Amino acid sequence: MKRSLLWKLCLVVGIGAVLLLYLVSQLSTRAQEQMSYLSEEHKQQLSAYAQSAQQLYIDNDLEQLAQLMRDIQQREDSWAAVVKSDLQSIAGGELSNKFYQSYGIGRGIQWKLHSWLVKPVMEIDISERNVHFLIQLPDRMRPSIFQYMGFTHLLLHLVLPLILLTAISFMLYLHINSPLRQLQIATRQFSEGRFDVRVRGLMGNRTDELAELASTFDKMAARISDLITNQRQLISDLSHELRTPLTRLDIAVATLKGGQEPSSDAAIARVERESEEIRKLVEDTLALAWLENERPSLTQEDLDLVDLLDVVVEDARFEFPDRRIEPDLPESAPVSHSTHRALGQDGSYTHLTPPTKRNV
């Protein structure tokens, strides 16, 4: 058996698993990339704050610049300031120690923001490159990666694999269940008496184990159909053949019941004759049913019919010890392409008479 269905399943599951891992990895990476940047609306808002601070710094209106920083901090509920590169504060909130301990001041609004940056400080250069507008990113401007990271991980690592695996499982189910469903329907139809139903032709070009199962079912259905048809025909033929001798038996029994002496012996002889005929019909029918049902494998051979007849004579002498049986048989009666098993069945030898005359 090629086990093509096994290899199909292994191939589908293997490729499906690899594609699933690749897809989850790519989608997870892309989602993090897309969710790790500020939206265009928030970039424009921060740039507008920086431009306002820049204009006030250029005008050297430090008091209004400080007021702007206070307004921004109050509006965004966050920290904001304008500082020089040497960390000298010009306006706004005070600088914490972390600014003096790090290599940079803040992050550009075009930069990628990682999830471990809880409240990153954004930096926009104003006027000269040594003057910077700083603002701690307001909560409302945080990238979606900060807000939906847990949901995204759940979606990519649980929901998406579950959907894909369910889809693959459903495809495999359809691939396997379709022929099984056809087998189920054919079995039900066969049990209802539709002995001509077949399945293999409904499976197209499939050559897997299920197609072999369908072929086996078709062979079984054909075999059982032949057996049932032959048995029905056999019963029909037997019932037809038995009607005539049974009718004659009824006539003979009616004659015996009438008590007419001249016809009693003839009626008894008729009963014996018809009962013998019925017995032979039954024996022939049983032998035919055995050949049809068992279909024995009979090895062909050459044999001598005289040997078989000697056995038959011996059986007759045993069954009828009060009779003297003197057969007149030739030296040999060869029979080709036959078998002892077939010729030895009860009653079958009555149809095989040697070509020479016998006295029994």
State pLDDT tens for residues 316-346: 775 576 788 888 888 888 887 776 655 654 4
Domain ranges for the chain, please list them: 40-142, 195-295, 298-360
Q: How many DSSP H helices and E strands does the chain contain?
A: 10, 6
Going by the DSSP 8-state scheme, the letter that residue 246 receives in this structure is: H
**Helical pair 4-35 and 160-191, crossing angle rounded to 10 deg:** 150
153-157, 294-298, 310-314: which has the minimum mean pLDDT?
A: 294-298
Please give the Cα distance from 144 to 137 (Å, whole number).
13
Q: Residues of the chain with pLDDT > 90: what percent? A: 1
Q: Tell me the β-bridge partners of 338.
A: 301
Residue 227, CA distances (Å) to 63, 214, 290, 291 in order: 110, 20, 11, 11
Q: Are 306 and 331 in contact (CB under 8 A)?
A: yes
The pLDDT of residue 136? 87
pTM: 0.42
pLDDT in tens, 203-259: 778 777 888 888 888 888 888 888 888 778 878 877 777 777 777 777 777 777 766
pLDDT at 298: 58
Could you tell me if 186 and 197 are in contact, meaning their C-beta atoms sit under 8 angstroms apart? yes
Q: How far is CA 285 from CA 108, 185, 280, 304, 350, in A?
A: 102, 35, 8, 27, 14
Please provide the DSSP assignment of 288-353 as one string. Answer: HHHHHHH------EEEEHHHHHHHHHHHHHHH-TTS-------S--EEEEE-HHHHTSTTGGGG--
Fold annotation for 195-295: Helix Hairpins (1.10.287)
- Which CATH number is associated with domain 40-142? 3.30.450.170
Task: Grade residue 165 by pLDDT with cuts at 50, 70 and 90.
Answer: confident
Question: What pLDDT sits at residue 292?
Answer: 66
Query: Token digits for 72?
Result: 């921004």
**Between the CA atoms of 36, 41, 45 and 48, what dihedral angle is there, to the nearest 10 degrees?**
120
Q: Over range 60-81, report the average pLDDT.
A: 89
CA distance linking residue 259 with residue 167, whole number of Å? 89
The predicted model gives 68-90 an average pLDDT of 86
